[in-house]
Amino acid sequence: MKTDFKTADEYIKLFSEDVQTILEKVRATIIETAPDAMEGIAYGMPAYKLNGKPLVYFAAFKSHIGFYATPSGHAEFKDQLSVYKQGKGSVQFPVDKPIPYELIKQIVAFRVKENTAK
């Protein structure tokens, strides 16, 4: 798989149409919730920064969408995220189940508040 992409658009185009649809909706949810965030690529995935500080990231894998909102973002929503496979600062949303876009929106909003308060 190509890894030298420079934009979220290039990254998203690497995947099948059904996964592209999910990634575009995740992206739109982030942008709608954090319109001042800067979009880029970090750690080989679409990344968003606010005030120069990391906000959230997302990535596609064979059977899930990875969402990364730092350990604090995941800790704040631990109950809602408990039904998903997780790591420290990461959660896996299976592509064969409904993606919780409203929960993603809430996490991003929390991270915006957290990020701007620091």
Annotated domain spans of the chain: 8-113
Indicate the pLDDT class of residue 32, thresholds 50, 70 and 90: very high
Determine the 3-state secondary structure of 55 from DSSP: strand
pLDDT at site 45: 95
pTM score of the predicted model = 0.94
Q: Which two tokens stand for residue 81?
A: 């995220």
Indicate the pLDDT class of residue 88, thresholds 50, 70 and 90: confident
d(CA 40, CA 50): 11
Look at strands 64-68 and 53-60 and give their pairing: antiparallel
Indicate the pLDDT class of residue 2, thresholds 50, 70 and 90: low
Name the CATH architecture for the domain at 8-113.
Answer: Alpha-Beta Complex (3.90)
